[in-house]
Chains A and B, each alone.
Chain A
Amino acid sequence: MIVCVAVVGHQNNPLYIQSFTKGDDSLLRISILNVEGCSYHSLKRHHIVHCSLDVVDERVNNPKKSGLIINETFLGLLNPTENYKVYGYLTNTKVKFILVTTDLEVRDVDARVFFGRFHTAYVDAVSNPFHIPGKKITSRKFAERVSTIVKSFGLSSGG
């Protein structure tokens, strides 16, 4: 099950982070700050996405050593963290897509298909003339589309 997807900009700035878990997302308000919507779990997912950027960065900076084939956007499994597996995808404009899943067995094909769709959705979203590049994506349509893609994750190849 996908628990989180994220889009990270070329300056490693988060453009979009969405969690897909229900129930356990108990809203744990940070006592003295009263930060809106900052739950323990989403915080954890932020951390996972944030940490995974280390690996992406490394692959971006020395693509040869890490064996990244040129023009290969799919970065594969970035790192298994605790109970999660993190997959990455890097566009030519250095925008990163991060997928966090709890599935123990994820086929590369599924991940590739997912990222392909996700990329298309992202391109459509930023093609909006009113979108400012570098700014967080707030489009509701994009969110809907992403959740559809997330739901269909793994189904296409009969997983």
Chain B
Amino acid sequence: MEPDASIETSSMIRVAVIPISDVTPLLFREYAAMLLRHHTVSLNSISSFYTEHQKSPFAHQPWESGSLRFKFILGGSPPSPWEDFQSNRKILAVIGICHCPSAPDLRSVVDQFTAACKTYSSSLVQRCFAFCPGDSQLEDGSVKGSNLILFPPADRQTQEFHMQTMVQDIAASLLMEFEKWVLQAESGGTVFKTPLDSQASLSSEEVIKAKKRRLGRAQKTIGDYCLLAGSPVDANAHYSTSLELTRLTADFFWYAGAMEGSVCALLMDRMGQKDPVLEDEVKYRYNSVILHYRKSFIQDNAQRVSPLSFELEATLKLARFLCRRELANDVVELLTATADGATSLIDASDKLVVYVEIARLFGELGYHRKAAFFSRQVAQLYLQQDKKFAAISAMQVLAMTTKAYRVQSRASIGPSNDAGQTHADGGKVHHHSIVSLFESQWSTLQMVVLREILLSAVRAGDPLAAWSAAARLLRSYYPLITPAGQNGLFNALVNSAEKLPLGTRCSDPALPFVRLHSFPLHSSQMDIVKRNPAREDWWAGAAPSGPFIYTPFSKGEPNNSNKQELTWVVGEPVQVLVELANPCGFEVMVESIYLSVHSGNLDAFPVSVSLPPNSSKVITLSGIPTKEGLVLVPGCIVHCFGVITEHFFKEVDSLLIGATQGLVLSDPFRSCGAAKLKHAHLPSITVVPPLPLLVSHIAGGDGSVMLYEGEIRDVWISLANAGTVPVEQAHISLSGKNQDSVVTVASETLRSALPLKPGAEVTIRVTLKAWQLSKTDSDAAASKGMPGSSVRQAKDGSSPLLLIHYAGPLTTPGEPETVSAPPPGRRLVIPLNICVLQGLSFVKARLLSMEIPARIGEACSMQAQLERGNTEQVNSSERQADRLVKIDPNRGSWGLRLLELELYNPTDVVFEAGVSLDMENTNNQENLSDNISAEYGEPKTRIDRDYTARVLIPLENFKLPVLDGSFLGNSSQNNGTSGSRNNSFSEKNIKAELNASIKNLISKIKVRWQSGRNSSGELDIKDAIQAALQASVMDVLLPDPLTFGFRLAKTSSDDINVDSDVTSCESGDSIIAHEMTAMEVLVRNNTKEAIRINLSIACKDVAGENCMEGDKATVLWEGVLRGISMEVPPLEEVKHAFSLYFLIPGEYTMLAAAMIYDANEVLRARARSDALDEPIFCRGPPYHVRVSGTR
């Protein structure tokens, strides 16, 4: 039984090709390859070498069209016992191949060749080809005449031509030898025997029978030689005779052989044409061949030898002849019969050949699974042989089956198969790997195959193949393998790795499973923003402007959502998170794992990790991009179990998809308890040239700033350029919540520092003002306690963000401006972590009014002021004088309103609160600021923890200096022209005006606080004040139209008096009973129009009785006190002098009142009187007069 048997085999001349002397296998193969090309030599071409010595027995030799066919057997083969039966089995020629440089002595070469040829007794022609002889060897005449042929060194073409000539020479020699042999055989009495009948020659009867048969057998053999000589017609004639003779002698075996030969002759004659008639003929004849081989089965020697192998060989020959898809049924039938028959074959190698042939033929038919099945049988037969070479063969055969069973090694798939395919899983189109997942359900078969590969690889001593098989087995079928089995595989992996050199790569990954977890976004410090060169604010409208990747407001491009893009910067480390899973029952030590970068522009850093049994881990892999361009990160390189493998993310992805569809046994990540992860897409990653990189650092620590509500503090932020490119543009903006808490940002400082060279640093100041906690926040804070709430505050993200957009130069230096897109800019987000603590809390506000009568006296200051005569100045000075609640006893305070704020300190520090008023309507700004700063020195209200304290704000000072129409202007006009029709409208206007004024007023009131050494701030109580003031704001704001004042008049006599009584001046009240006291009443007009009034003055005693009139008048007077008609010019004062004579010392109260004539709208509105003719009565505050007794 021989492999590759076909019907045409009968016409092939077998030539042994053997190495002579020392030829390295590589050289031998190379020389042999040159020889093998000449497997067919046309008769035409050999005619020049052929000389007809006698009449050729091949009468019908087709010299024009025929050819001789060679079958070169490298290394030769032992003689077959069936040589007589089928002449093509004989080795008819021997060709030796010798490499001269390694065999200097040509004589010994000739000797060796001659010796080697002796083993091939059947050989008719022997030649030894010696290649590359040296000059001395060429000249060596001693080998002339022997069959050593020297191939002088020449180029390949010449050598091949030389070779062709030599082969033609051999062919011609063989042909002549065949002729000789045939002539001899026809006449001679050669006996042809086969192993079948060698022992049956004992009885005489058998001898006679054999003699009878001899003729038929001889004819068959001559036919064989005719076939070999390339003369089918002659062959057919001899075979026909043989068929007749053998049938008569019932020599079925030879009959079948002759029949086979005749079929071969038929096919040769037809020169390879195939038509259905011929096919049917061949089929018919071969069926007869098979039948007769079966008939020749002799029970007697069935144990020793059997024609079964010939039967099977004939079947296979027919199957090979028919092997086409259309005839699949016939072929399958034949092959099935062969497979059935093979079970009863005795010789193991015959069995092997049969299975190999069956597998091949099935494969040719396209029945890959059947082919794989029989290949496995072949492998099992090899494995039974228990030899290393057999094991290697088994391994190789099994490797061929892996495709059918879908367990092939990744190395055998080839790189182009899968790489190009995209993940377009549109509906029914299944990805290649998904289909393989379906097929992978034949786990039982697949595991057996892999296991056999592992076994054979171990036996064959191929550690890499063993490693690969164990890896595939473990990776794909771990859920089906018991822990003990898993450990076995683990040991197999480790043992194989020990035999492998360090750093061996294997294309099949083992454990762990690696999947892409995520790409961590650029830390907010490193955001990259596309630059829009057309705009001044180049960052606008480019990349996302918020902290979100996806904003619902951006233009909806549905495809974009799952195809994100990443930008990496040359020289800046990047990170990728991957998840590893070890679903097996042993610990996996990953010696190193790093990103596999096919584009070669990333330096990946290896990480070592250990995975306990049944566990998964998310690890960070990092690297540094080295060159701009696209980055492809298809997977990871893993060094585990002593071998380096590449794990592709895509494979695990499709595995996981398969797991969700129930196609794969189990999800390795899920079985390890890893969280379910949304499928992470591999984004397209671009590396851009270096960019500037600002690094921020907040002075005093990057932690959050703890501020009490309303606290104002400066924060210093230092910005350093950590990149290699200078920052040329920078812009600071705010984002996030509570943006108004950033009072100022010193962006000028940054701008002036540009360009910021690499390594340079700039510090900018940011003034913060803590915002108010909302009601719920403070409630929560109260319930939770302060620290908890503060932490929550920081996490809430209620802090504002400082955004710095910055960019390097528009073009990289040294590079021409060819690229249209400028290098992108970046954004630095500095979260101003403000942690607002509850500070002073406002409880309530109340408006208090206070009435303290003034005293009549001569305050020196007042005097001085009056001398100046500048009323405006006087007014402001007055205000400065009595800014706070300190009430000048000489002036008193009538209708003074105080705003009382009740503050509560819930914190654990002490607060000091002070009130200040920002006056803006003074003419001297500097003066004001001086005064305000002076104000800080004023006593402060200390509020201890958990205490409530009150702060008073005098509102007197807010009175407008002039009561004029501007304030009530609109209303007065409306009233005047259109009457009450537009009353509601005008009221609205009044309200609006009022509100504006109130706001103005309120904004002036500042309650500043200080706590400890360095925290100070402002209480935000605007709303509260507004609520408190709402009702009586008119009274607070507007001055009365007239103000009255009393004072002692400075008469000349009085001057003398005063001079004489120096002491009295100091006390300030030098009114003595029983003395004429000159007094003045001052009436000031606060409006812008002159007012005519009717002034009257009254004096009351302690009891409140009018003491100037009636029977018991205690005060005598001089001058006019009643019905004094006068006109007060606008914004001026009018004096009216009079004198009083007090009879009794004690306390008196002076009152001035005036009736206003012809009041205008302003006055009426102020007096809230509607009637036009109603007189308006104006009353001044009471003045106390203390009259002392006589000295």
Contact = CB atoms under 8 A, between A and B. Distances in A.
Contacts of A132: 661-662
B1022 interface: no
Interface in B26-54: none
Given A34-B485, A35-B481, A82 B340 contact: yes
A65 B326 contact: yes
Contacts of A9: 438
B373 A50 contact: yes
B368 interface: yes
B442 A50 contact: yes
Interface string B445-483: 101100100100000000000000000010000001110
B485 A33 contact: yes
B753 interface: no
B441 interface: yes
A33 B480 CA distance: 9
A46 B376 CA distance: 14
Interface string A18-56: 000000000000101111101000110011001101110
A109 to B, nearest CB: 22
Given A43-B448, A81-B336, A135-B663, A11 B435 contact: yes
A23 B1166 CA distance: 119
B340 A47 contact: no
B688 interface: no
Interface string B502-520: 0000000000000000000
B373 A12 contact: no
A79 B438 contact: no
A34 B483 CA distance: 9
A58 interface: yes
A113 to B, nearest CB: 25
Nearest to B436: A11
Contacts of A117: none
A14 interface: yes
A30 B445 contact: no
A112 interface: no
A110 B447 CA distance: 35
B369 A134 contact: no
A13 interface: yes
Contact of B484 (A14, A34, A58, A134): A34
Nearest to B328: A58
Nearest to A37: B444
Contact of B445 (A43, A54, A58): A43
B211 interface: no
Contact of A134 (B326, B362, B448, B663): B663
A154 interface: no
A134 B336 contact: no
A65 B445 contact: no
A136 interface: yes
B1157 interface: no
Interface residues of A, number: 32
A42 B661 contact: no
A47 B481 contact: no
B438 A30 contact: no
Given A33-B447, A65-B326, A134 B438 contact: yes
B768 to A, nearest CB: 59
B662 A135 contact: yes
B438 A12 contact: yes
Given A12-B439, A32-B488, A33-B481, A50 B445 contact: yes
Interface in A62-113: 62, 65, 79-82
A53 B369 contact: yes
B488 A35 contact: no
A37 B240 CA distance: 60
Contact of B370 (A12, A35, A51): A51
Contacts of B441: 13-14, 136
Contacts of A32: 451, 454, 485, 488-489, 492
B438 A35 contact: no
A38 B444 contact: yes
A132 B441 CA distance: 15
A145 B73 CA distance: 60
B664 to A, nearest CB: 10
Nearest to A14: B441
Interface residues of B, number: 38
Nearest to B480: A35
B444 A58 contact: no
A13 B661 CA distance: 13
Contacts of A11: 430, 435, 438-439
B884 interface: no
B369 A54 contact: yes
B325 interface: yes
B367 A55 contact: yes
Nearest to B367: A54
Contact of A13 (B340, B367, B370, B663): B663
B366 interface: yes
B444 A36 contact: no
Contacts of B370: 51, 54
B332 interface: yes
Contacts of B438: 9, 11-13, 134
B373 A51 contact: yes
B444 A42 contact: yes
Contacts of A80: 336
Contact of A46 (B336, B339, B444, B662): B444
A13 B441 CA distance: 6
A147 B451 CA distance: 32
Contacts of A30: 447-448, 451
B367 A14 contact: no
Given A11-B438, A34-B481, A47 B325 contact: no
B369 A50 contact: yes
B661 A135 contact: yes
Interface in B138-192: none
Contacts of A62: 325
B442 A134 contact: no
Contacts of B326: 65
Contacts of B430: 11
Nearest to B405: A50
A58 B366 contact: yes
Contacts of A13: 438-439, 441-442, 663
Interface string B426-443: 000010000100110110
B482 A36 contact: yes
A16 B572 CA distance: 55
B728 to A, nearest CB: 59
Contacts of A54: 362, 366-370
Nearest to A61: B366
Interface in B310-346: 325-326, 328, 332, 336, 339-340
Given A51-B369, A53-B369, A65-B326, 13 more contacts: A12-B438, A12-B439, A13-B438, A13-B439, A13-B663, A30-B447, A32-B485, A32-B492, A33-B485, A34-B484, A38-B444, A43-B445, A54-B366
The 9 closest A-B pairs by CB, nearest first: A135-B662, A11-B438, A54-B367, A13-B438, A34-B482, A34-B485, A33-B485, A13-B441, A32-B488
10 contacts: A11-B439, A13-B442, A32-B489, A33-B473, A33-B489, A34-B485, A50-B445, A54-B369, A80-B336, A134-B663
